[in-house]
Amino acid sequence: MEPIKVLIADDHVLYRAGVKTALSSKNDVKVIAEADNGMHLLTMLKAVQPDVILLDIQMPVMDGITALPEIKKNWPDVKVIMLTMLEDHSMITKLMELGANSYLSKTSDIEVIYEAIKTCFEQDYFFNALTNKALLTNLKQRNQVTPQKLVQQEAQLNDKEMLILKLMCEEKTTKEIADMVDLSPRTVEAIRDKLKVKTGAKSTAGLIMYAVKHNILNEEI
């Protein structure tokens, strides 16, 4: 297997060097290029083809927020992990909706960065406590309501599936959901698996991401 090709875009030379050096000990990951701003990154992508980009949010000339949509538009298969010192819940949700595959604090341990690279490459998304909390917080604060019929048409969810997804977003356990909807825990798990198939989510966190995009917590079931 060829190593996962990584490009680091960050205006701090020492940070790039530190991450590159730390990742050099991993046989299945290789840093193939570095960029110091978003414009430099977009130009570089015309010549190199990384699998994963570590993209700093705050950079001169062009920041990561501006570069992200351009990357996803022109190189949709490239996975992008946003890096920042800020733990802004609304910003995290915005970036995930723009196509970011993960969001990490720049203080993250190298093993977390390595795990995020591997997981994004293999499973598209890497969710952690930071992203999950941000997505749930944003979901609970949204005021915009999408009519239930439109949501159902999007993934063709029935009332029972909508209710279970809503309860999952409220952080209810499988047993709690089973008790509330008068089903067995095994049946709830089966419905959860079916929801993943219908929505294209690969994990429970992916289902939360789907719910965020469709304002399901605000729905009256």
Task: Give 156-172 pLDDT, tens digit per residue.
Answer: 788 888 889 888 887 78
Strands in the chain per DSSP E: 4-9, 29-35, 52-56, 79-84, 102-105
pLDDT at res. 141: 62
Q: Does the pLDDT of residue 147 top 50, yes or no?
A: no
| Helix (H/G/I), strand (E/B), else coil: 82 | strand
Can you tell me the distance from the alpha carbon of 37 to that of 35, in angstroms, rounded to the nearest whole number? Answer: 6
pLDDT of 148 > 60? The answer is: no
Under the banding of pLDDT at 50, 70 and 90, the label for residue 218 is low
Q: Residue 95: which pLDDT band, with cuts at 50, 70 and 90?
A: confident
Contact 130, 89 (CB under 8 A): no
Q: How far is CA 76 from CA 109, 118, 185, 211, in A?
A: 27, 18, 38, 22
Average pLDDT of the residues in 52-71: 95
Tokens matching residue 128: 């952690």
At residue 221, the 3 state secondary structure works out as: coil
pLDDT tens for residues 116-129?
999 999 988 888 87
Domains of the chain: 4-126 (3.40.50.2300), 142-218 (1.10.10.10)
DSSP class of residue 149?
Answer: H
Q: What is the rounded distance in angstroms from the CA atom of residue 110 to the CA atom of residue 114?
A: 6
Tell me the per-residue pLDDT of 5-35, one tens digit each, with 9 for 90 and over: 999 999 999 999 999 999 999 999 999 999 9
Contact at 8 Å (CB) between 99 and 134? no
